[in-house]
Structure 1
């Protein structure tokens, strides 16, 4: 059920206000058409309209309830800076501005980004896209921003932290049986004895004990995560004993000197990067020549997609040919690729 504004907690208010502020900042300063699509589109569009107006931005709401009257309002009141904000199937195919410059897709469990969008051959198809996750409508998360739209540069930091902060305390309860898969992946990759291993996006630290065993007592094991609550969970579990250091940081802006890491373990990380190509280059920057990148997930791609109610596309970021090309362009060589139901493991060498 979509919560009304009065029923939400202060924290939930702040989460919605952060999302609405980011969406408002994404809009161009000139007149533009914005379509909101998916379940609860009318309610979300109303909130975006309110946020825009509270900043002094002129906005005309277009709905399927009164389309002719709404269009008359747009024609009468539209200016060179007015935002036409619409929801509903009628408007999806008939943007009053000639095109939708921004589409906001609302994702719910069992849905996938863009499932409600206009036909790919339609002139109304938007050139930019935002995916807003409403798995919990009281705690929205911006999961993707694509296209040349003017979002704040580090929007993904706040959104990623918001996603994982509320999940950190129960993460091991839900996924604790994955520990043997982590240990097996690290053992198969075999980071160098005495080397420096980085668990990037370490979460609750499930790979830290295995990384410590691999590099031995003279090696260094660093856990880095973007979310403070995840690092708190590492300490609560006692896995911090296997880490030389736990760091709060961004995988796309690593606090390490060039060529200072021997092995990077990245579990479930690449799909959370705002810019995968730039992220892989940053990982290459801090890794010595001949060093390794271990890309892992305890569930295979097809099984994970099915869990989320979707089917894998041929050109998804972790498909072998796509990942291999992305790694090569960033200074890596894909050496090994394994994607059965039970796990995903790709090993690459810094070239």
Structure 2
């Protein structure tokens, strides 16, 4: 029925690749729980929370971890009895807002939030209150972890696989969906006033929509490089790269394959909000940029418009909010020179300070 949430497909309905994706996500969550007794509640995605909780409990048991499953969403005598039967080493897994409000031992150790598409007028695109893990379930066959608290697991345990998983399934249709943004990219690059003949790198280049404009900006004797974490995105970028005479590199924005002070400008569209530590990302961008070089941060939608599209509130502490961005750029070797955030785009530039 239109407007109703899509159910999670049964295991037997998944392809082998989809099953592996589910197992990888569940293993990341299980590994993040740590040893000893842990209580976990899964909320958000009303139609999915019970199934995800069941799958996590099954995965924990399959690995030899004792697990008590508290279900039905609304606590009652039966759940209280099952909770009492848990051992000191058990992981307790519950689902739903009823359990979220009634933790077994004063507070939940881990809160998992399922991010799903808006249903009717209700939006579930943001992050639940006090959550430790966010799992994107816009595609019920392809879960992706979008946030995992530092206190549970370091970024290196989950960021690479989850970022690639998020973008891999979107690469083939990205330009079809967002192709109308090309003029906005060209306008942003023109406004950035990049150095003719310089070296410019598009970090997180995706399908390469900025590459032709970057070539026009630096001219025929400049060097244009596109770097992305996801092989499927670079495959989709080949057409733009060929037209722009640009080189494509598979790489991680957190550990860039460039020497110190080796580029004249960095272009980053939508990058910072995808990094687990935006300030560390800015510091790495500063490392490769020569003193006086340019950083261009861009998105073809303003922050408020993008938040509304994703069904989440706009928060003043977000990495691209003006005060946090001024603070983080100042801390990482940049001087923020332009900040512009109207509805139709986000655009900011910064200059690399002398070391």
Question: Structure 2 residue aligned with 1:289, among 282, 288, 291?
Answer: 291
* TM-score computed with the length of structure 2 as normaliser: 0.91
1:280-309 alpha-carbon deviations (Å, 9 max, x no partner): 111111111111110000111111112122
Q: Which residue pairs with 2:127 in the alignment? A: 114
Summarize the alignment of residues 1-351 of structure 1 with structure 2, pairs less than 5 Å apart: 1-38=7-44, 39=46, 40-64=48-72, 67-79=76-88, 81-109=89-117, 110-115=123-128, 117=129, 129-150=132-153, 153-235=156-238, 237-351=239-353
Query: Partners of 2:179 and 2:50 in 1: how far apart?
Result: 39
Count of aligned pairs between the two proteins: 339
Which sections of structure 1, spanning at least 5 residues, go unmatched?
Answer: 118-125
1:249-294 alpha-carbon deviations (Å, 9 max, x no partner): 1101111111111100000111100111111111111111111110
Distance verdict in 2 for CA 1:136–1:244, change over 3 Å: closer
Query: Partners of 2:96 and 2:226 in 1: how far apart?
Result: 46
- Compute the displacement of 1:188 (Å): 0.6
* TM-score computed with the length of structure 1 as normaliser: 0.92
- Compute the displacement of 1:147 (Å): 3.9
1:303-337 alpha-carbon deviations (Å, 9 max, x no partner): 11121223312222211111111111111111001
Pairwise CA RMSD: 1.6
1:135-166 alpha-carbon deviations (Å, 9 max, x no partner): 11111111111241125624111111111111
Q: Which residue pairs with 1:121 in the alignment? A: none
- Compute the displacement of 1:350 (Å): 1.0
CA contact (8 A) 1:284 1:330 kept: yes
CA contact (8 A) 2:126 2:313 kept: no
Which sections of structure 2, spanning at least 5 residues, go unmatched?
Answer: 1-6, 118-122
Query: Partners of 1:218 and 1:92 in 2: how far apart?
Result: 59
CA contact (8 A) 1:24 1:48 kept: yes
- Compute the displacement of 1:91 (Å): 2.1
- Report runs of 4+ in structure 1 exceeding 6 Å deviation: none
Query: Partners of 2:316 and 2:251 in 1: how far apart?
Result: 32
